[in-house]
Amino acid sequence: MDLRGRRCLVVGGGEVAARKTSLLLRAQAHVTVVAPALCESLRARYEAGALRHHARAYATADLDQVVLVIAATDDRETNRSVSRDAQARQLPVNVVDDPELCTVIVPALVEREPILIAIGTGGSAPVLARLLRGRIEAHVPSAYGELAALSAAVRGEVQTRLPDLNARRRFWEEVFEGEIAERVLRGERAQAELMLRAKLAADGGGRALSARAGELYLIGVGPNDPELLSFRALRLLQRSDLVLLAPDVSEHIAELARRDAIPLRIASWPPSEGDVGLQRAAAAVGEGQRACVLALGDAFRQPSGIQLRQRLEALSLPCVVVPGIAPVQPSQ
């Protein structure tokens, strides 16, 4: 919901109400707070002219002309009345710490404008959502907003110069994973923009996707548990345009691939010489795309996997082996 310039109601004047009000103000909403008294932070915002305040108890008429309602009092009967009245008018309502009375959930937010990350638990564990927000904030520097803004500045030009979807994806992956992104994260925005425009001039001036080297990733997925994939395995899997799966690799692993990636099951393991999936992978790599083969355990450092890698390399396919967790052999 776009709240810019729209009227929202917060019932309650404590610290919880202050947090919800802060979210609404950041969304550029026009906020009215109804409460007999305000906490210090809300009082400061009111005195600064950031919100309206009615110093009294809630009344049904407070719902007139608002588009969103938040009840944040410590009186459940008041919260229940607000929820009932709002739902009677078909207004979205959030009641703090009472999901049964909510028709909308307010997530915890990580803002790196223009990037916005929302974390929700369906109202079941708001404290957990706040803890997760803190962890994400620690790992996503504010400079990522600068990186997104820089990409937005040249997005139209990139679409014009690189009309091929795969070429554009490769371009942005190289930008976000390379030196240009590092420059932005170090605060060197101007230098990063010069490098970005130079890269666009080179890529859009004839360095076509087909002229770039494709890659084939041979990834061991360990014991079929998505949580036990290495960061490198996950990163390369999500870069792949074509994903080949050994017969016993689980769907939970396959679901980690990009939505637009093409998944194919290998008929048997190790794959036969004429396996259709391997032929598709060879063709994709030859066209400058990225493909991966997923197999259980540490398959590509075992005899059958090593033989497969040698067969592929004999076809001049550049292979990158990503080890997985090998199965534990029972003691004799």
- Are 171 and 221 in a shared domain? no
In whole angstroms, what is the distance from residue 254 CA to residue 295 CA? 11
- Are 55 and 72 in a shared domain? yes
Q: Around Cβ 249, how many Cβ atoms within 10 Å?
A: 22
- Are 222 and 199 in a shared domain? no
- How many domains in the chain? 3
What CATH number did the domain enclosing 287 receive?
Answer: 3.40.1010.10
In whole angstroms, what is the distance from residue 62 CA to residue 65 CA? 8
- Are 90 and 47 in a shared domain? yes
In whole angstroms, what is the distance from residue 27 CA to residue 25 CA? 5
Query: How far are the Cα atoms of 19, 45, 322 from residue 106, in angstroms, in the given order?
Result: 11, 21, 40
Instruction: Give domain status of residue 256, yes or no.
Output: yes
* Tokens linked to 232: 């490198």
What CATH number did the domain enclosing 91 receive?
Answer: 3.40.50.720
- Are 225 and 194 in a shared domain? no
Instruction: Give domain status of residue 251, yes or no.
Output: yes
Phi, psi of 192 (to 5 degrees): -65, -40
Higher pLDDT, 202 or 92: 92
Q: Lowest-pLDDT range, 31-40, 202-211, 215-224?
A: 202-211
Instruction: Give domain status of residue 304, yes or no.
Output: yes
Average confidence score pLDDT of the chain: 90
- Are 221 and 196 in a shared domain? no
Residue range 46-56: average pLDDT? 97
- Are 49 and 77 in a shared domain? yes
Q: pLDDT above 70 covers what percent of the chain? A: 95
**248 has pLDDT over 60:** yes
Q: Give the residue numbers spanning the domain of 40.
A: 7-106
Counts of helices then strands in the chain (DSSP H, E): 12, 12
Instruction: Give domain status of residue 135, yes or no.
Output: no
- Are 91 and 180 in a shared domain? no
Domain endpoint, select from 185, 211, 237: 211
- Are 235 and 309 in a shared domain? yes
pLDDT in tens, 130-174: 899 898 888 888 899 999 999 999 999 999 999 988 889 889 988
pLDDT at 209: 44
Domain endpoint, select from 165, 187, 211: 211
Domain endpoint, select from 172, 189, 211: 211
Instruction: Give domain status of residue 133, yes or no.
Output: no
**325 has pLDDT over 60:** yes
* Tokens linked to 63: 């719902």
Instruction: Give domain status of residue 174, yes or no.
Output: yes
Residue range 275-284: average pLDDT? 90
